[in-house]
Each structure stands twice: as C-alpha cells, then as structure tokens.
Structure 1
Amino acid sequence: MSAKPTSIWLRLAQSLRTIWDDDAPDSQAPVGKAKVQANRSRTEATELAANTLRDQLLNDPTLQARLHIISLAEFRESVGDKWARLADKVAMIVEQVIRRHVGRDNPFCRDGEDSWILAFPRLSPDQARQCTLGIIDDLGRHLFGGETPLNQKPMAVAAEVFVADAVADDGDLHAHRIRAAVDERRARSGPETVSESANRWTSMGRGDQAIKADDMGWESMDATSARKSIAFDPDMIGPLPPTAKLSLLWRPTWVASGEAISAYGARIIRIDRDGAEPIEGVRAYPPGDEKTALTLDRFVVANAVRDIKAGARSGDEAANQASVIVPISWSSLASDQRGSIVVPFSDLTQQIRNTRLVVEIFGIPDGTATPELEAVVSYVRSLCREVLVRTHLSAKRSSLAAEIGVSMVGLDLSELLPEEKMDDEHLLETLDRIQESTARDGIGCYLWSARRRRVVGGVVKGGFGMVNGPGLMKDIPRPAMVVPAPRSRFIAA
C-alpha cells in the first residue's frame, strides 16, 4: 500500500541514498517508456524503504527507537526579519552538516522552516544521541562562528521523542508532541547547555574532558577570563566630532610569497581636536556607532583610491606592482549603505582591482551567522582580488573562513585588550598555535602592528603569510614599490 505523501516514513526514506544514486549515469539518458519505468522504479524503491524503516523503528521493541529533532527556533527568533533571506542558506548548511554526521544509512528530513527530524535505525539510543549532539556542536562552528557566549541561550537545541509517541498510525507526525519536546528542551537549556546531558557548544563545565587549548588551535578562554566586551574597553572613544581631522597612512607589509615588502595597508588616523593624541586604526571606530563607521570607511576608501590612482598616473612601473590592502568595517559592509562605501572602487581599472586590490573586513561581531558572513564576503570578493578577515585571539574562524572564500585570517596586536597583552615569549607561543590551526584548515594567516623585531622575526619564521608594524617599517604617505626582503634577514635579527 502506498504511503501518504505526508508520512514521516516516506519523507525520511526520500533522504536515503538508494541504488540509483550510486550507479553511474548511462551514456544516454532514458527516454519515453524507459524514463517512465525508471521513475516508477525509484518511487517503488522509496516506498519499500519507507515501509522497512517503519517496521524497524516502530515494531522492534528492543531498539527503543526515538525520533531526534534539531531545532533552530532560537536562532530564527534572534535574527528576526533577516530569517526570510537567511532561511534557504541556513537549510543548506544544516543539511550538509547532518549528512556529514549521519552517513548514508540514517535518514533525516526537514520539518517546517527551522527543524529537522532524524532517525537512527542502526544505532543504539546512546549512539544516536551522541551523533545528534555532534551535529549540534558542528552547527555551532558553521552557523554561529564558534562559541555561544555565556550569557546567551544556545541557538540550536536537540530533543527526542519515542517513535510510538511521535507518529500516528497513518504515518503523520503528532506535531504538538514534537513542538512540546522542543519547547521543553529550550526551556531547560541554560546559558551553558543545549540539553541537560553533554550537549554543549564548548568544553565549559566538562571537567577532565575539557578540550585543551592546544587542540582548539585558537586561544581558548574559560568563563573567568572570557573576552571582555569592547563596550567596556577603557580606551573607548565617542562619536566623530565636527572638529576631527582625518588622514590616511600606508603601512609597509612583508609578504611571504615572494619574500618582499610587496603590500601596503591603509591605516586611518583620527585627531578629534588640536593637541589631542592621534587615534589609529580600529580604535578610531566607536563600538556600535554605525554613523561614525560609515564616515570613517568612506574616508578610507575614497582616499585609498586617490592614492592608488596617483601612483598609476605617475607612470612609475615599479610603484604600481605592490598590493594595496583597504580595511572596511563589518558595520558598514553589513549595512544597507555599503554601496556608498565601495563606489570609489569603480574609479580603479579592472586590472588594478583584479591584480592589486585586497579588502580586509574587520570588527565582525562574535556570533555572526555563517550565511551573513558568507553573503558579505561574496559581495566584497566581486570588487577585488581577495578578501581578508581580521579577528581576535579567542575567535575560531579559520575553518569557516576557508570554506566561504576568504584567503587569510589575521590579528592586529593594537586591538588587544589590557588583559590579553603578554610578553613576547607567550605571544609567540600563542601565534604559533594560531598558525598551526590555520594551516590545518588550509588558509593563511597574518599579523598587524608587530612593534618589536623579535615578534616580526618569530612570525616570519613561524610561517605567517604577512606581517607589518613598527617593528618592520614605519608608516608612509602612500603605497610604494616592491622591495625584496629575504626571510633570512628577519630570522637572523
């Protein structure tokens, strides 16, 4: 007897890889009656798989079978109106992660807009639960960029319901029981947990099972030393006053490929009033002040383009080979006014954009969803040769960045908070771990604002792709020529 289209057994069976998925396609596709026969065979095979699945899960009391639910309801509510444009991309990511964990013998299907149902006919209840928790952990990295902050509920939860309680005789789900299981799990999930068992985003509270910092790659921080919000940074400054003066300098950058000073990074300088100390780089951007960020980014891009064009007009071939790195804040690139920021790039020739222009994204908030990050990176990549992402010590974005088309991830030492600063020895140890982690993920890493030669030499020796700062060379008014700088020179120093 054919299963109802709404039957959970049929919906689950449709995700199983049946024999025709593994067969190589014939040189000629079926036509006419042959095509109809092929489609009928597939339908019959799916219905057979649905019946087998029902018998396995519903009629075998020794299995104690449960349906497992993964819900992103918390995430959906947190993004609000953005969900409409994120939903499809989120679904693709979730299903890729699920497939990676469950293999070919354990089916799943989407249920509504923000939930997925999984069944594990070949696993014990404990094995099935651990597999589901592994999916939740992996989603933490792919969707939310790493750890869930301690003061927030997790964005994804896992629940489970006995098959006999979840499925009606006709194969339809008891939707109210599925919702009740998810709601109960959400209500019981504290800031540190996704369920009351071992279902956690990170190693917090696992005691002897805690993941070592070396295994995490990026520097891990526990609850007592968690990164302080930039909103409480004592060096925080206010909005840009009308009296402020802005200027742009260029920081010579050593690049490992070619072993030369072959890139120049734009760096904004802000002076709010006569006699005031200059405020450089990211510290010129007040946290949460989108208006000031837009003003500063427009200035950076417009003046960077001015300097690049001036070099091109000079006719000096040697001065028109180096890469130019233009930093733009996440605040501006994620806003609906980003077009006004990047429009000056259209004044550059296509050749310059494709061969010399590099855009660096900085100020990405913790917990930014992968689809949002991927959308911004994709937008920026259409404008330039490559995209860099600047992060911070406690972030773990390298594997994610590699997957969405970022060429390098990096740090700016001038952004370290007071409690993050350390002596050269410990800093180099931390940077070594970062480099090893990014290398495993197949992506390069860079370091800005190295003030001491020992640090410059250490990261050059350690395999960083780029480095700049006062310990290398002082800032200059505009991009200059490529200058050979063998690796051995820095290592010896």
Structure 2
Amino acid sequence: MQLQALGKLVRYFRRRRKDKPAVMPEPVVSASALLSMRDRERNDEQQGFVHAIQRMVAANPALRSHIYIISLADFRQTVAAKWARLADKVMLLTRAVIHKHMDRLSLLAQADDDTFVLAMPSLDRVEARRRVARMASDLSASLMGDQALGGQRPAAVTANLPFAEVVGDNGKLDLAAIHEAVRKTRAIIDAAPAKVAEGDGNAGSPESIRIPQPANDEKAKPRWSWRNGEWEDIEAGNRKTASAWRCFRFGAQSQETLEPGDEVPPLPAGARLSVFWRPTWMSSSDGVAAYWARPLRLDRDGSPPREGHATYPTRSANGMMTIDRHLAVTAAGILRERGTGPGHAGLILPLSWQSLWSKNRWAVTACLADLPVATRRGKVKIELFRIPPAARPDEIRDVVQFLKGLAGEVLVRLSAGSAPVGLMAKSGATLVGLDLAELRSDEQMPDEDLLVNLQRFHQMAVRNGTGCYLSGVRRRRVLGGAIGGGFAMVNGPALMNDQGMPGAVMAFSRERLIRLA
C-alpha cells in the first residue's frame, strides 16, 4: 500500500511538471542596446520639446520665448572618471531640482549627457531668470557646495538663447549653439573677480566665508570639495600656485573642530540661524522620501559657523529652545507654502528633550499644531534627542505621546549614556536610531567593526518590537551595509549632500544603493 501511494505521488508531480508552462529566460540587453534605447528616449523628449514650443509660437506669433540652458559640464570635468558611475544619480537629482522650480506650463528636455534645456513661456523674463538662477544655486549646493568649484566656478552653469537660435533648420536642437552659449557664460565667470557668497541667515540658503591662508604653503590645501563621503583637495598636485583663500561652506565643514560632548557656548545676541535639509532614504518608499532638518549657527560675522551637534549650547535651555523653535517655524512655513502633494517629500525635525520636557514646550510646537491634521500625519516626523540618562521611563513615554499628537511618527535618537534600546522602544517611539556624527574621534572604528555593531543594534531594536534608523553616514560601504542590514531610514553625505530647501521624492532602489556601495 505504501509503494502504491508513493507511485501515485510520483505520477502526480510528473503530470504537474509537464503541465507547468516553460519559463522563458529573460532577454539579455546588451550595453550597446541600452545606450541606443536611451538615445531614442532622449531624441523623443527633444522632439516633443521642440514641437511644443513651435505650437505655442504658432498660436501666439508675438510670443518671444527664450530657452534656458543648465549645464553640468564643469562638474562632469571635475569628477572626471567618476562621472560614469555618478551620471545616472546626478541626472536624476538635476531633474528633481529643476522640476521643483517649474510651473505647470514649463517644458524640460535633456540636450546631451550633461546639459538640460528649459522653457518657461508663461513667465516673464525677470521671473524666469530668477528661477533658473535658483535652480543653479540649489544644484551647486547639492553637488559641491554652492560656493563654487575650487572657490571660483559654480557646479551648474546657466545660459539663455532665443528659441530661434536653439532650434536648427532641421527642426532639432542645435547642440553647437547650446554649447557656445555655455562657453560664453563660462568665459564671463572666469573673467569676473571672485566674490564671497552672501546669504540671509533666515532664508535657509547656504552661505560661505573666506579665511586667509598662507600663500605657497606645501602643507596648505586651499581648494576642497566634498566627494564620495570624504573631503578631497581639488588641486592636490598644484598647491603652490593655488589661491591663498580657503572657502568653507556653512553646513558642510567648519574651520573649528568641535568634538561631540565638548562645551558649546551660549547663543549670543544677534546670532544668525539657518536650516539645511538632508535627503533621507526610506525603506518604506524605496527612495529619498524625507528631508532631515539640520540647524546652522553663525554667532557673528567672520566667525566660523557651527553645524550639527556644535549648534546646540551646552548649558543654555533658552538657547536650545530658540534653535528648536526656529526649526519648527521654518518647517511649518515650508509645509504651508508648498502643500501636501504626493510628489513632496516629508520633513523630519530634530527637537531636543530640554525643549519638549519643559513647561513651555508649546512655545516650540504651537506652529506645528496649527497645521492641518492630514499635513502633520502625512508629512511630519519628529526626532527626540539628547534624552538625559536620568530621565525616567514614564517621563520619556509622556514626551513621546505628546509628540504623537503632533506628527505622524516619533523617532528617538540614542547617544552615549542614553537609556537602553529596549526602554526607548517601549516608550512608544516608531524608530530608535543613531547619529554617527556624534561619535568622538576616539570612538571611530573601521567599517567592518562599525557594520558589526550596527547589525547588533538592529537586532536589539527588532527584538524589542521597533525599527531603527542611521544618520550621518559618510562612507558608501557603511551606507550600503545599513540599507542592506534592514535600517528603515538612512542619510548622510554618502547618500546626498545637504540642500538649501527640501526637494521632491526621488526613487533610489535598495538594490541600486547596495550595488553602488
């Protein structure tokens, strides 16, 4: 009987195997075929761009539409051989930044591998040029720091031409005319004297200062750029002839080195505060779907800027509350202005325990409470940080529950001396996390050891029924390891640089980021 049953089972699976349709292997797309596919897509986009402009001109002969050009050729030349690896990511970022400033009647097309053309026929020349300048500024801030490549040239170069000069007799974009317009703009930039970038401390735009450096010093590195999670000298082999000025971007690197935990002075009267926004990858969206607020503080003109942990005064509760309130007011203003469309990313606000545990916490959070409930639930996350070791579990739960009434999710950042992961997870927080920027120099470790410790942290969080996040990642290997290891949110220079304003949602698949690492 057992043999008969076994025989029936064998015959059953044989019939299933015969009836199962054959699985066709996926076609293999060669690199040349992929390139030709991209060329066809680009040609189709260009033709659609030209035809749309032609229809507008035909409908309104008085229309004198200008075409605006945004070129990343200088940035491409600076990154040199790395462009092949960065191109797709840079083009995706460029489109997102441009779309943020376009209106619904604007048109965009990619002219070549590093150049975009843009038409804004519904806007007057002054407004159109203002928006294009803002696009270039945001791109420069995102890619290299808005001060300029080597302290002289912006990462994105812009130009404009009348429509008739951009379209050739064959009805296609005249690339020679586009490149010539960019060349003329570049010549003007090269001939102009270097200027110190100025910014409004309340506008959230990047700022820079110039600090005299000794000329002809072999040890000096006068030209810096943030690349691949590390500061590199743009002209390391030509330091003797380099400029005797060093440019620092506020929010990227400060002349003053301050270890986490060191004494930070109180906020002086007249200090300027601004906010940068750090793109944050989220596993739930498989892309950049949130921007993390990062305060920047300038105590007085000419003084080195303070950013991150060096912004918050050590012994001044009023100073902490001032910075927290500035972040909250800035975020509330952005959300009111742009609305809650599906293409807009969420905002993450770090607010300190000192402000939220005090009796005056509504002075910080009232502006958020005034937002519509749907906006707060869908677009706002609040990170609670600097929880003192002496804080009781019921006190932590009280603050977390208060924040849950204001935001969609509450994150809790752990630091040296914080309560255990389990206690923080049981407070009701959505995620618990770490900021690698808070590690002191004597706490730094090789990537292998860091990844092992991060995996242990993730396992502890999962055991306690919560997820985890990681901020301040500077190396791509750690970025890929954290994303592949199950962290729900990851950000840092290894992913993208800070931006002057929150951008749009951008798709960055988990597999792609792990592969880039």
TM-score, normalised to structure 1, is 0.50
> Would you say 1:274 and 2:301 are equivalent positions?
yes
Q: Identify the match of residue 330 of structure 2 among 286, 303, 315.
A: 303
2:281 counterpart residue number: 254
CA drift of 1:393 comes to: 5.4
Opposite residue 422 of structure 2, the aligned amino acid is S
The Cα of 1:407 is off from its aligned counterpart by: 0.4
What do the CA deviations read for 1:428-485 (whole angstroms, capped 9, x no partner)?
A: 1111110111111111111111111111111001111100011101111222221111
| 1:483 aligns to 2:509 (yes or no) | no
Letter in 1 for 2:332: V
1:364 to 387, 394, 397: 387
Contact 2:259–2:441, Cα closer than 8 Å, also in 1? no
Distance in 2 between the 1:399 and 1:233 partners? 24
Q: Secondary structure at the match of 1:479?
A: coil
Q: Note the C-alpha offset of 1:487.
A: 0.5
* Corresponding letter in the other structure for 1:325: I
Contact 1:270-1:279 within 8 A present in 2 as well: yes
Corresponding residue of 1:355? 378
**2:384 maps to amino acid:** I
Q: 1:310 to 1:477 in 2, by over 3 A?
A: farther
Counterpart of 1:289?
316
Q: Is the 8 A contact 1:283 1:415 kept in 2?
A: no
Hey, what's the Cα distance between the residues in 2 that align with 1:276 and 1:318? 41
Render the CA deviation track for 1:317-368: whole Å, top value 9, x for unaligned: 3443x22111100000001110100000133211101111111101101131
> Size of the alignment, in residue pairs?
259
Cα deviation digits, residues 254-289 of structure 1 (max 9, x gap): 001121111111110111122333211232112232
The alignment partner of 1:302 has SS state of: helix
Counterpart CA distance in 2 for 1:414 and 1:364 is 17
1:436 is aligned with what amino acid?
Q
Match of 1:238 among 265, 270, 284: 265
- Name the residue aligned to 1:409: 432
State the alpha-carbon separation in 2 of the partners of residues 245 and 395 from structure 1.
Answer: 30
**How many angstroms apart in 1 are the aligned matches of 2:373 and 2:458?**
33
1:318–1:481 Cα contact (<8 Å) kept: no
Query: What is the CA–CA distance in structure 2 between the aligned matches of 1:234 and 1:367, rounded to whole Å?
Result: 17
Separation (CA, whole Å) in 2 of partners of 1:233 and 1:453: 23
8 Å contact from structure 2 (residues 280, 290) kept in 1: yes
- Worse-matched range after superposition: 414-423 or 293-302: 414-423
Counterpart among 260, 263, 270 of residue 290 in structure 2: 263
CA distance in 1, matches of 2:436, 2:426: 25
Q: Which amino acid aligns with 2:503?
A: A
1:343 and 2:331 correspond: no
Whichever residue aligns with residue 417 of structure 1, its letter is R
Which residues of structure 2 form unaligned runs of 5+?
1-257
* Counterpart amino acid of residue 279 in structure 2: P
The whole-number CA distance in structure 1 between the counterparts of 2:507 and 2:261 is 40
The alpha-carbon deviation at position 232 of structure 1 amounts to 9.5
- 3-state DSSP class of the match of 1:236? coil
1:100-179 correspondence runs (5 A): none
Q: Does 1:447 align with 2:470?
A: yes
Structure 2 residue corresponding to 1:327, chosen from 347, 350, 354: 350
- Aligned-pair identity (%): 40
Q: Aligned partners of 1:388 and 1:362: how far apart in 2?
A: 9
1:430 alignment partner, one of 453, 467, 471 = 453
Q: Which amino acid aligns with 2:512?
A: R
Partners of 1:450 and 1:298 lie apart in 2 by 26
Distance 2:260 2:434 in 1: 18
Cα distance in 2 for partners of 1:251, 1:348 equals 22
Unaligned runs of 5+ in 1: 1-230
Runs of 4+ displaced beyond 3 Å: 231-235, 393-397
Task: Give the alignment's Cα RMSD to 1 decimal.
Answer: 1.9
Identify the residue that residue 69 of structure 1 maps to in structure 2.
none
Q: Note closer, same or farther for the CA distance 1:257–1:454 as it changes in structure 2 (3 Å cut).
A: same
Q: TM-score, normalised by structure 2?
A: 0.48
Equivalent position to 1:387, from 383, 387, 410: 410
2:316 aligned partner, one-letter code = D
CA distance in 1, matches of 2:354, 2:261: 21
1:398 aligns with 2:421: yes
Query: Aligned to 1:238, what secondary structure does the other structure show?
Result: coil
- Compared CA separation, residues 393 and 233, structure 1 to 2 (3 A): closer
Q: Match of 2:303, SS?
A: coil
- The DSSP-based 3-state class of the residue aligned with 1:474 is coil
Which residue of the partner structure matches residue 464 of structure 1? 487
C-alpha change, 1:338 and 1:254, in structure 2 (3 Å) is same
Deviation string 1:32-59 (CA, Å, 9 cap, x unpaired) is xxxxxxxxxxxxxxxxxxxxxxxxxxxx
Q: Per-residue displacement from partner, 1:120-142 (whole Å, max 9, x unpaired)?
A: xxxxxxxxxxxxxxxxxxxxxxx
Kept in 2: contact 1:311–1:319 (CA 8 A)? no
2:110 match: none
Give the distance between the partners of 1:310 and 1:335, measured in 2 at CA.
30
Residues 483 and 514 in structure 2, CA contact (< 8 A), matched pair in contact too: yes
